Structure 1
Amino acid sequence: MPVILARVDQRLIHGIVVNQWAAETKAGRYMVIDDEVSQDEALKASMRLSKPAGTGMSIINTDKAIHNFRNGNYDSQKVFVLVKEPSTLIQLLDAGIKIPKVNVGIIFDEDGRKNISKFVSVNEQEVKDFKEIEKRGVPCSIQYVPNDQEVDIKKLI
């Protein structure tokens, strides 16, 4: 199974992901899946600068990610998936992509979201999406850095 962890983090690639989570996951590929970010060449270039040495990075839209997974492009790699919204993960699951676990790092407190932890706020749709992901047998937990204790998202939503 190529996906070793999926993380919902609205900052996508940042210091904590490339330093602390890199050591924790030992991922060989970081895959940012975002339909908007995948079209922004300047942002993609800056994200690529931060990837850990010796790893690969893909910054692609959801359809291309699904195509690449189905095509077996990552079968020999350990892939750490990064998305801004849990709805993207549902699209992957709908396409038959196996996700063993979802880690929630940062969802900003904006646009009417309700704060459920220090770094995570959710709206009604995101609550539904996390419940749907859990219903499909994929555990979801909030954990900002690997040394933090995992908190089952079900307890907070």
Structure 2
Amino acid sequence: MIDNSGHEQDETRSDDADGRIATDGGVDTDADVDYLEAEVNLLKPSTPFMRDHLKQVWAGFIAWVILTWGPVTATYLAPEVMTQPIPVLNFPAHYFSVAFLAPTSSLVLAYLYSRSRDKLDEKYGIDHSTAAVESQDDVDADAAATDGGESR
């Protein structure tokens, strides 16, 4: 891995044509960044995409912890309230929240994460499609090998 933690002043630093100082692996918001090839550091994200994605991951994780472990914790802390039947469904509150709310909320959170990740990929121009195949003279574009080998 490349060590980008040093920020010593260098007498031979290079400036680009605009007079801006070349970066040492930090964030350069004006340049085209290959977001899929950049170094990943969860504690100090190196690109705007990674910072935004990390915000989504943490928000989803916190929501998941609250929705999944909240009913269990509430039942432990206040059993007399959580074991009483809910007036509409006539089930105990802890049963309904653990058996229905937690799994359903996990599915909803997964859906919301996938939608927000698609929007984030769209925002930063990341394309995950593998449908683009360059055609060559001797290889038919429709006959691409599916096992990674060459098609004949």
Structure whose residues are more often strand by fraction? 1
Shorter-chain TM band: under 0.3
Q: Which has the higher contact order (CA 8 A, sep 6+)?
A: 1
Structure whose residues are more often helix by fraction? 2
TM-score by length of 2: 0.20
Q: Which has the larger radius of gyration?
A: 2
TM-score by length of 1: 0.20
